[in-house]
Amino acid sequence: MELHSLKVLICDDSSLIRKKLKELLFKYGCTEIFEASDGQNAIDMYKKYMPNLVFMDIVMPVKDGITALNEIIEFDESAKVIMSSSSGTKTLLKKALEAGACEFIQKPFANIK
């Protein structure tokens, strides 16, 4: 699948992280990008837009990323979710992968400019 045809959901409570990741995805040709600032909003937007890929922070208000991931996977077990966190403990990594994340990225993202 070409990057320009992907629908991507970025879920992070940091507007700066969302902005930088969105700019990077645009740079590589991705144009259908949706944003959520908390886990509940991410679940709602996932169900509405059915994105091909989700970038999800773990620590967020309202509903944390692991809980949101669980609900998204329950709704669509083929969901592709990449989790991220600045508190990259092995416990969080293990929880994210056990919940169904396909990858885990440690923040800060070194190459986002």
User: Is 25 inside a domain boundary?
Assistant: yes
Span between the terminal Cα atoms of the chain, in Å: 25
Read off the pTM: 0.89
CATH number at residue 32: 3.40.50.2300
- Encode the chain (113 residues) as per-residue pLDDT tens digits: 566 679 999 999 999 999 999 999 999 889 899 999 999 999 999 999 999 999 999 988 899 999 999 999 999 999 999 998 877 677 877 888 888 999 888 776 655 55
User: Could you give the number of structural domains in the chain?
Assistant: 1
Residues of the domain holding 87: 3-106
Backbone angles phi, psi at 43, to 5 degrees: -60, -50
Tokens coding 47 = 């169900």
Assess if residue 111 is contained within a domain: no
